[in-house]
Structure 1
């Protein structure tokens, strides 16, 4: 389907121009980049001479329809890891709906056992509660369809390339120690993750990418003030004054979403995408989380039924929305690429 073309506010000159996600050969990717005017700032494809497929690429052309139908801009706050923040991604009503939808069905969270690719409970690593939606719910409930479409349009990842939506609650002291979302060696390959915050915690609960810090690991640390032994990232989370310039810290805010990429556009796993769900200090934190996949996984489509929006889904190849008209040559090139890939 034709995604709406817009913009993301970059952080200075460091934000890389790009193209919409699609699977194509290296030569096709390079031709597309030339058309979009981005070839000088996209060195990864030059390094991939022995690769037959480029399976993922992210874009700074990331505007998407808001609940009100207008443009929503994201802010690129880091390039490595590549992190984008969208405020007002969800409405207050959508946040309340998602919380109510999962409230009575929460269960203790589990983590993937890396040796066998199965889920187990590990409270030292993660001790929140969660609920997974079913494909039937994702297809049949209009509110869910609209929210999930928005997630996919913002990330530029096809509808079916994702795991089921996970809604989670973190009570006081609940946390998720440092981890990378993708583990290709054990068949859990996730190019990107989108986390939407469903409430305003009273304290704590940051999403922290501890780049540049060496005191955030899931081991025992000594509190410099008291000498007390503290496990994991709690001390790191509570000391933002020690953050390095490249450390990325996202504060939970109702309706806000953070989109981050575990792989670069060359497909290589980015270890700097290691992140922490910091302990909640007061109150609780609710999130809705979408883990994306490189290939079809959930096979859910939002191009028909109650969630269908003719402005953005199933539009003809020559469709142009006046409200989202390209503003410059690079965006015009990206729009043409999108239409071509949609036709293919």
Structure 2
């Protein structure tokens, strides 16, 4: 009996040790997989941000970007796309711009702000309107070639999947207290404005400032619930302006037709200053 118990105990010990060794090999294999995928998918919980060096890094000290300029331009590991509506198509891009990029665009724009206008359907020129009460400016073609602006342009192109040359010049806007932009469509309903690059198909709206009360981007035709817009409760969906975030939305549906549900507006600012930058993407290269 005693010898039988010894044999059983020995077998149990052998099996247990084998299971432990197998589990250790499995953990090592999983860790190896995580490391191999880390540079392409830097969203594992083991990844953390180095505060001073400006890139993501594994705890063992291996930087994810690893001098990859393309990854740095695209802010891989920082930008987090979140689909917030399928009809209309709206994607919230968290951490799309760095703090330095936001401040840079504001610094360029501040000395050259003028009262915002809307596009006249007959002439294609900007005209003043109470539909839009902000102030703004467009970057020049020369400024489009500045390295930091080029990086932003490249990022917009990749995330929107629209060629850089199809984009209009970036417009920087400032909304002060009580200023707003009433709901409207970005696509054109006339033929004059279609001559340069065709229809506007997508818009990227980037937020450049924080600590703003109100000033949400409002989509009255999106969602089935209620949202806050300039301190009021409205039907639809709204996006709070958070510095560095961006909203990508499509003015054309999957059928290639203009999407009426893409109507949107800038809610009234209650306090603070709302700074934003807009990039419109066309069907063809703009001349």
Number of aligned positions between the proteins: 212
Is 2:275 the partner of 1:286? Answer: yes
SS at 1:160's partner residue? helix
2 CA distance for matches of 1:285 and 1:82? 24
SS at 1:249's partner residue? strand
Q: Check conservation: 1:174, 1:279, Cα contact below 8 A.
A: yes
Is 2:95 the partner of 1:102? Answer: no
Q: Deviations over 1:210-257 (max 9, x none)?
A: 1279xxxxxxxxxxxxxxxxxxxxx964333x43xxx22110000000
Q: Check conservation: 2:135, 2:173, Cα contact below 8 A.
A: yes
Unaligned runs of 5+ residues in structure 1 are: 1-5, 8-63, 214-234, 299-344
Aligned to 1:180: 185
Counting only pairs closer than 5 Å after superposition, residues 153-172 of structure 1 correspond to structure 2 as 153-172=158-177
SS at 1:117's partner residue? coil
Counting only pairs closer than 5 Å after superposition, residues 27-66 of structure 1 correspond to structure 2 as 65=71
Aligned to 2:203: 193
1 CA distance for matches of 2:180 and 2:249? 19
Q: Please report the TM-score for the alignment, with normalisation by the length of structure 2.
A: 0.69
Q: Check conservation: 2:208, 2:277, Cα contact below 8 A.
A: yes
* Structure (1 or 2) with the greater helix fraction: 2
Label 1:236 to 1:285 Cα distance change in 2 as closer, same or farther (>3 A). Answer: closer
- Equivalent in 83, 88, 95 of residue 81 of structure 1: 88
SS at 1:164's partner residue? coil
- Equivalent in 213, 218, 231 of residue 238 of structure 1: 231
Is 2:195 the partner of 1:202? Answer: no
Which structure is richer in relative contact order (CA contacts within 8 A, separation 6 or more)?
1
Q: Deviations over 1:119-168 (max 9, x none)?
A: 1011x1001011101111102x1111111111111101001101111011
1 CA distance for matches of 2:262 and 2:92? 15
Q: Check conservation: 2:94, 2:245, Cα contact below 8 A.
A: yes
* Structure (1 or 2) with the greater strand fraction: 2
Q: Please report the TM-score for the alignment, with normalisation by the length of structure 1.
A: 0.58
1 CA distance for matches of 2:181 and 2:91? 20
Q: Check conservation: 2:90, 2:250, Cα contact below 8 A.
A: yes
Residue 68 of structure 1, CA deviation: 7.5
Is 2:132 the partner of 1:126? Answer: yes
2 CA distance for matches of 1:203 and 1:251? 9
Largest Rg, 1 or 2:
2
Label 1:65 to 1:125 Cα distance change in 2 as closer, same or farther (>3 A). Answer: farther
Q: Deviations over 1:295-325 (max 9, x none)?
A: 1105xxxxxxxxxxxxxxxxxxxxxxxxxxx
2 CA distance for matches of 1:66 and 1:201? 27
Q: Check conservation: 2:91, 2:249, Cα contact below 8 A.
A: yes
